[in-house]
Amino acid sequence: MSVHASPSLTFESPEQGPDSQRRCVAVCMGTGCSSSESALVRERLREALVEQGLDAEVEVRRTGCFGFCEQGPITVVYPEEVFYTRVKPRDAQKIVEEHIVGGRPVEKLLYKDPLREQPVQKWHEIGFYGKQKRILLGNCGVIDPENIDHYIAKAGYQALEKCLTQLEPTDVIEEVTKSGLRGRGGGGFPTGVKWGLARKTPRWPKYVICNADEGDPGAFMDRSLLEGDPHSVIEGMIIAAYAIGAEYGYIYVRAEYPLAVRRLRIALEQARERGFLGENIFNSGFSFDLQIKEGAGAFVCGEETALMNSIMGERGQPWPRPPYPAVSGLWDQPSNVNNVKSYAYAPAIIRNGADWFKQIGTPKSPGTAVFALTGMVNRTGLIEVPMGITLREIIFDIGGGIPHGKQFKAVQTGGPLGGCLPEEYLDVPIDFDSLQAAGSVMGSGGMVIADESTCMVEFARFFLKFACEESCGKCPPCRIGSLRMLEILTRITEGEGRLEDLDELKRLSKGLQRGSLCGLGQLAPSPVLSVLRHFEDEFRAHIVDKACPARKCKALITYEVVAELCTGCMVCGRNCAANAITGEKLQPHVIDPELCERCGLCYEVCNFDAIVIKSPR
């Protein structure tokens, strides 16, 4: 491949671009939808169009993730933006015949909102998207991520051109600093300031590194962005490299993201072909290239120093800072580590200016936040919202509230190192500082909703267990302390807790927070402490009353038959693997608590709601 000295930003065939008014059926090819056969949907759509002789007129487009993965595979018909959910390969024919040819949207495939009677036709009318503001994800679901022309048509690489041809590196840093952009990897450190520090260290070579490790369980913000709009990240990295004076970069992405890796590979290839990567980019004398480094999926490798160790082929363990990466990072050279999203904001900020960015979100946390909304909420998925939106708006307007009319109990933000907030905090605006003040953190974007049926002690135990298992083992507070905490929590959920355990948990937490080397150990106690703070009564119930108020902890519950409701149908007895249920036909049945293994099957299968779960209190 030869290197073009001057890449072209003109879009070669505008009639095929993402902005054309031409008919187009977009099929989501993100990880979620791909796993439910969206590739086959796309194939079938093509065949159906060929059959109708429309294949030249109607484009079938591969796109990135729409975020509403639970409803996938998702297919959108442009330009009218009709949004189809759960599309099966056999539905392709119908879409083409009824919608494309007949002009009538296929009713059965439209999204049926559990909160509304009428099915929703258009993408942006769906409640899930109502309060979203998609800057980072703006191209996801719109462009073909494997086609650089699509990105270019969406003003792609214009920011890079502007930087290289009109701005000095210091101007770039100033603009990003002025925008107030804060790192989206969790810490919220001002990105412009970070670039400035790396620029200031007078040693070369320097490196830019993109942190796409994304280890939070259930989070997939970075994956979706890389799959849906890889060039925005690449462009951001080139801009950062220009700003700090780096010539080489790495994207550290977990190997469990094969699709993201593939899309990145294709994007890098195309960017090199067009001369956005390589030597003398835009004839500016600036040269830069980067490579993908696949990580083996350790959570701690998302910590920047562990990540760099991993790139260097060392064991993925953090080192104490200072020295900070900006001074001594990869191979002891000045390095800049940013999250995927932090880089991806840069092109938009350069293109539209710092002031444009600042007017989105809040003064101290400008811009948007991307969350993976999961747990006990009606609509789950990936969302992008302006900073300053409240938790209530996210959970109830975007997420559609709690399913089955249950009560909201808590929301966990910041992933396994974050904290949970109860009902009283629902009107807290979401930004770095407000969440921290409320006792949780922004983190990198996990958001898990717990309803009344969630046992908060178990909730805390779950996150702590994750941190404990992911501890790298380097420092004793985290390696051993997290296990000691987990042992106590396990004991409490098993009904063996003692009241002193609460103080002991706090004491151990303090030890981890103060003594641990890296953020993993320092923050591992956060979920436990926040549950202790907001739900201490649940802890006490487990310890004092030997009761699980949510009736979840197996050691503290019993399954019982309500004699008045039992019809003696014998279904439960037939299903019980432990043979714990006895009773004559048409006579009330009885569960032997000694034999019962608390699997809950009888509770599920009883047609008369005659089985109840009991816990003292």
Partner 1 sequence: MINLTINGESITAPEGATILEVARMAGIEIPTLCHHPDLSNVGACRMCVVSVQGARALQTACTTPAADGMVVDTMSEDAVETRKFVLEMLLTDHPNECMTCEVNGDCELQDLVYDYGVKWPEHNGQRHQWEINPDPNPFIFIDRNKCILCSRCIRACNEIQNRDVWNFAYRGFQTKLVAGADQFMLDAGCESCGQCVAYCPVGALYDKMSIGLGRVNQITKVRTTCSYCGVGCNFDLNVRDGRIIRVTSAADAPVNGMALCVKGRYGYDYVHHPDRLTRPLVRAKWLGREAVEERIAAGEWAIFDEAKQRLTHRRPPNDAQTPIPNTQYPNTQYPNTQDLNTQLPPDTFIATDWDTALDVVANKFAETKKKFGGDAFALLASAKCTNEENFIFNKFTRQMLATHSIDHCARL
Binding site residues, ligand SF4, CB under 6 A: 300, 317-318, 471-475, 478-479, 516-518, 520-521
DSSP assigned state of 107 = G
Q: Minimum distance from CB of 322 to partner 1 (Å)?
A: 6
**Total binding residues for partner 1 by CB under 8 A?**
31
The whole-angstrom separation of Cα 29 and Cα 42 is 9
Name which position in 71, 232, 374, 471 contacts partner 1 (CB under 8 A): 471
Q: Minimum distance from CB of 515 to ligand SF4 (Å)?
A: 9
| Helix, strand, coil shares, percent, the chain, to 5 | 45, 15, 40
Report if residue 481 touches partner 1, rule: CB under 8 A: yes
Q: Minimum distance from CB of 300 to partner 1 (Å)?
A: 8
Q: Minimum distance from CB of 480 to ligand SF4 (Å)?
A: 9
- Which residues, 6+ apart, have CB-to-CB distance to 577 below 8 Å? 597, 599, 601
Q: Minimum distance from CB of 217 to ligand SF4 (Å)?
A: 16
Report if residue 498 touches partner 1, rule: CB under 8 A: no
For 287, the enclosing helix (H) or strand (E) is strand 286-295
Report if residue 214 touches ligand FMN, rule: CB under 6 A: yes
Report if residue 487 touches partner 1, rule: CB under 8 A: yes
Q: Minimum distance from CB of 532 to partner 1 (Å)?
A: 19
Name which position in 320, 353, 593, 616 contacts partner 1 (CB under 8 A): 320
Report if residue 180 touches ligand FMN, rule: CB under 6 A: no
The whole-angstrom separation of Cα 603 and Cα 598 is 10
Phi and psi at residue 338, to the nearest 5°: -135, 160
Return the one option of partner 1, ligand SF4, ligand FMN, none that residue 320 interacts with (CB less than 5 to 8 A, by type). Answer: partner 1
Contact 457, 550 (CB under 8 A): no
Closest by Cα among 164, 236, 172, 234 to 199: 172
Contact 607, 571 (CB under 8 A): yes
Residue 368's SS3 state is strand
Site string for partner 1, 279-318 (x = CB under 8 A): -------------------x-x--------------x---
Report if residue 311 touches ligand FMN, rule: CB under 6 A: no
The strand pairing partners of 339, in sequence order, are 211
**Total binding residues for ligand FMN by CB under 6 A?**
25
* 3 state SS for 301-360: HHCHHHHHHHHCCCCCCCCCCCCCCCCCCHHHCCEEEEEHHHHHHHHHHHHHCHHHHHCC
Q: What is the DSSP string of 82-93?
A: EEE-S--GGGHH
Of 468 and 602, CB closest to partner 1? 468
The interface region with partner 1, picked from 20-28, 141-149, 248-256, 515-523 by CB under 8 A, is 515-523
- The burial class, CB within 10 Å (0-12 / 13-18 / 19+), for 579 is exposed
Report if residue 310 touches ligand FMN, rule: CB under 6 A: no
Report if residue 436 touches partner 1, rule: CB under 8 A: no
Across 393-503, the runs of DSSP E, i.e. the strands, are 408-413, 419-422, 446-451
Of 335 and 368, CB closest to partner 1? 335
Q: Minimum distance from CB of 445 to ligand FMN (Å)?
A: 9
Q: What is the CA radius of gyration of the chain?
A: 27
Report if residue 300 touches ligand FMN, rule: CB under 6 A: yes
The conformational region for residue 577 under phi > 0 = left, psi -120 to 50 = alpha, else beta, is alpha
Residues 110-169 that bind ligand FMN (CB under 6 A): none
Contact residues toward partner 1 (CB under 8 A) are 298, 300, 315, 319-320, 322-323, 468-477, 479-484, 487, 510-511, 514-517, 522
Binding site for ligand FMN (CB under 6 A): 183-187, 189, 191, 194, 211, 213-215, 299-300, 302-304, 337-339, 342, 444, 518-520
